[in-house]
Structure 1
C-alpha cells in the first residue's frame, strides 16, 4: 500500500501542476497479467483522487469482465463520488461502445477502433473545463500482455496519449515497455509495482460466473433492488447487426504468404434470430446502420426467448417502454441468467 500511496502523491502533484498550467492532467494506464490486481489498484487511485476533490475519468478496456457496465464493452465515465464497496462505480451516464466479445483477440481491429473512439470523446471532454482536464484519467486494461495482446497495449498507450504506465506484477512487461517507450515524445513514465498479496487467481469457470454476475447486476442492481421489464419485440421492428460478420478464410486455406482480405469492421445483419437466444444486445444511438461503429450504445437488453412463428423475441430491459433505438448490436457470448 505504501507504493500505491507514493504513486498517488506523484499523480496529485501532476494534477496540481496541470491545473496551474491549464492543461490536461495525467493519463494513467494500468497494465499487467491476469489476476494481478489492476482493477483494485484502479479503484484505490481513483478514490484517492476523488478525496482530493478531483473528478478523474475512468476508462475500462477490460472487455472480459467489465467494471462500468456489462462485459464485452469499452467504456468510460466521469467519477465524482467515492466508489462504494457494494454498489461499485457511481455511473449515471457512461460512454459505452459495445464490442460484443469478451476477448480482444477475436477482433483486434474492432477493439482498436473503439479505443480510438473513446480517446476522441475524452479529448473533447477535457476541453470543456480546466478542472476536468487537470483531473486526468485512469485506464484499466486487459490481462492479455503477450504477442498481439502487447500490440494492443502499445496501441492503447498511444491512442490515449498516456504519460504514466503502471506495470503490476510483471518484471518482463515492465522491462519491455520501458525499452519500447524510452524514445517516446513526450516522455512516458513506466513504473513497476508489486502485485498485491491479497490477489486471488481465478479459474476460467469463476471468470464465466463473474460475467454472469455482471450482467445480472446491470439489470437487477448489485443488491437486487432494481426491477427490469420483460417485453416482446417484433422482429420486423428492429435490425440486429454483428461486427466482423464477413467470411474469413483460415490461414491454412490461403496461398503461402497471402493474408485474408475480409474486413473485420464489416457489419453483417443477423438473419437467424435463433442465434440471439441468451445473448446481450446493445441498443445503439446510431440513426442509420452505417453509423453503428461510430455511435455509442444507450443500454442493453437480454434475449430470453425467440418465437419465429410469431415473428417476435422476448427481451429483458432495464425499464419498460420502447427502446431508445431500433438498431441493435449482437454479442457473440451467451449468458444463462437464472
Structure 2
C-alpha cells in the first residue's frame, strides 16, 4: 500500500489523445481516477472521481475527445500518452452503422450485421467493444457474437456464443454476462476440428437470426461479430462461411491489406468491406503468461466464481451422468459405411467411460435431453471441472458454480483443463 502511495502520477490529456498503460506484474494493482474533463475506456465513459482497479494482464487505453486530467496510482509496466489514435476512424464506423440502424428502424428491417476480422493481436475484440458501447449509449440493443474460441469473451475458451448488449461494458469487468447463448466446440483453435466449428457457427447464426425476428429493438440494432485470428487457408474459408452464415452487410478488416483485398474479391458486391488501422495501444504481443494463463485458466476461474458464487465440489456416480466427446478416429476410405463421408468422423458423438484421463478437464453441461447428434448442436447450460476420478467407488468429483444437482446429466468433454491454484 505504501508502495502505491509513492507511485502516483497525474496526466493532462489534450483533445483526441489517449493514455495507454499495461499491468503485467503478477499480484500488482493499478488504480485509475478521472479528476476532471471527460474520458472513456474502449467506449465506456469514466465516472468523475470514481477509482477503477486493474490487475495483471490489463491493457488499458484512456481516450478523451475534449481533454481531461487522470490520476494513476500503482506500478505500471508501460505507460505513455499517444497523440495519434484511430478513434476518429472507429467513431466514423459507428456513425455509418448508426445510419443503417436508423434506416432499419424506420422500415422495421434488420439492422447492420458487421464482422470484425484480422490477424491475431490487432485489437479486434477491443474494436467490437468500442462499437457495442457506442451503440448502447445511443439507446440500441445490439447482439454481440464471439467466434474467437481461443479467447472466449462471452464464456470460457473453447466456445462460441452470443449475448444481447443492454448497457455499456464495466471498465474493469467487460459486458454483463446475463443469459448468454453458448455453444461448445471444446478446442482452443478452430483448426483442430474445422468441420465441427463450421457446423456450430451456422447453428449459432440461425439462432441469432431467429432472435432478431422476435425483438424489434434488437432487430434494428443489428449484430457485431468478433472473429479469431486464423485468416489463411482453411481459416480464410471459415471467415467466408461465417460471413455467409450470418448474412453480413459489413466486414471491417483490421491492419491487413492482403486480407482486405481477398475479401473485396470474394464477397458479393452488397457486402461493404472496409479497411481499418489498428491502434498502437491494442496490438502489443501478449506475454506468454498472460496469453495462456490469463486467457484460459482465469476465464474459467471467473466462470466458476462469478458474482461471488464460489464453486461447489460434489461427487457424482458414473451411472448418474453420460459423458461424450465429439469426434472419433478417422476410418480408411475402404472401411467407410455406404453414404458416409470421409470427414463425418469429425462430428461423431462418442460415449466415454469415466477414467483418469478426464482429470482436470472441463465438461460442458448440455441442455439436450436426447442421446443423438442433437447434443452437438444444443447450446450449453454451463461448465464443470473434473477434480477426481475414483474407478473403485465409480465416482467422479466435480467443481461446479452451483450446488448439486446438475441441470442435466449429459456432459461433453473439452480439451481445456483447469487446475485450481487457490
TM-score by length of 2: 0.75
1:321 to 370, 390, 404: 404
Return the alpha-carbon distance in structure 2 between the equivalents of residues 262 and 14 of structure 1: 41
- 1:297 matches 2:297: no
User: Does the residue aligned with 1:50 lie in a helix, a strand or coil?
Assistant: helix
Please state how far the C-alpha of 1:333 moved relative to its aligned partner: 2.4
8 Å contact 1:228–1:316 — kept in the other structure?
yes
Please state how far the C-alpha of 1:313 moved relative to its aligned partner: 1.1
Return the alpha-carbon distance in structure 1 between the equivalents of residues 256 and 353 of structure 2: 45
Query: Following superposition of structure 1 onto structure 2, how do residues 251-266 of structure 1 map, counting pairs within 5 Å?
Result: 260=342, 262-266=344-348
**Structure-1 residue corresponding to 2:79:** none
Q: Could you say which structure has the higher strand fraction?
A: 2
**Structure-2 residue corresponding to 1:254:** none
Return the alpha-carbon distance in structure 1 between the equivalents of residues 311 and 135 of structure 2: 34
Residues 167-211 of structure 1, C-alpha deviations (whole Å, 9 max, x = no match): 011111111111111xx16x0010101111102212555322121
**Structure-1 residue corresponding to 2:364:** 282
**Structure-1 residue corresponding to 2:285:** 201
Return the alpha-carbon distance in structure 2 between the equivalents of residues 114 and 80 of structure 1: 25
Return the alpha-carbon distance in structure 2 between the equivalents of residues 127 and 133 of structure 1: 6
**Structure-1 residue corresponding to 2:203:** 117
Give the structure, 1 or 2, with the largest relative contact order (CA under 8 Å, sep 6 or more).
1
1:231 to 296, 310, 314: 314
8 Å contact 1:79–1:91 — kept in the other structure?
no
Q: How many residues align?
A: 325
1:5 to 91, 101, 104: 91
**Structure-2 residue corresponding to 1:49:** 135
Structure 2 spans left out of the alignment, 5+ residues: 1-86, 334-340
- 1:29 matches 2:105: no
Return the alpha-carbon distance in structure 2 between the equivalents of residues 176 and 261 of structure 1: 27
Please state how far the C-alpha of 1:31 moved relative to its aligned partner: 0.3
- Summarize the Cα distance change of 1:250–1:33 in structure 2 as closer, same or farther, 3 Å threshold: farther
**Structure-2 residue corresponding to 1:256:** none
Return the alpha-carbon distance in structure 2 between the equivalents of residues 64 and 228 of structure 1: 23
- Summarize the Cα distance change of 1:14–1:84 in structure 2 as closer, same or farther, 3 Å threshold: same
**Structure-1 residue corresponding to 2:299:** 214
Please state how far the C-alpha of 1:262 moved relative to its aligned partner: 4.7
1:160 to 243, 246, 261: 246
Residues 81-120 of structure 1, C-alpha deviations (whole Å, 9 max, x = no match): 1101222211111111101111101111110111111111
Return the alpha-carbon distance in structure 1 between the equivalents of residues 364 and 130 of structure 2: 30
Please state how far the C-alpha of 1:335 moved relative to its aligned partner: 2.6
8 Å contact 2:195–2:343 — kept in the other structure?
no
Q: Which has the larger radius of gyration?
A: 2
**Structure-2 residue corresponding to 1:150:** 236
8 Å contact 2:318–2:394 — kept in the other structure?
yes
Return the alpha-carbon distance in structure 2 between the equivalents of residues 147 and 112 of structure 1: 14
8 Å contact 2:146–2:226 — kept in the other structure?
yes
2:330 to 224, 248, 252: 248
Please state how far the C-alpha of 1:250 moved relative to its aligned partner: 9.1
8 Å contact 2:114–2:224 — kept in the other structure?
yes
**Structure-1 residue corresponding to 2:417:** 334
**Structure-2 residue corresponding to 1:60:** 146
**Structure-1 residue corresponding to 2:181:** 95
Structure 1 spans left out of the alignment, 5+ residues: 252-258
State the Cα RMSD in Å.
1.6
**Structure-1 residue corresponding to 2:262:** 176
Return the alpha-carbon distance in structure 2 between the equivalents of residues 67 and 261 of structure 1: 29
Return the alpha-carbon distance in structure 2 between the equivalents of residues 168 and 41 of structure 1: 9
User: Does the residue aligned with 2:252 lie in a helix, a strand or coil?
Assistant: strand
Return the alpha-carbon distance in structure 1 between the equivalents of residues 343 and 175 of structure 2: 41
**Structure-1 residue corresponding to 2:77:** none
8 Å contact 2:161–2:181 — kept in the other structure?
yes
Return the alpha-carbon distance in structure 2 between the equivalents of residues 264 and 233 of structure 1: 29
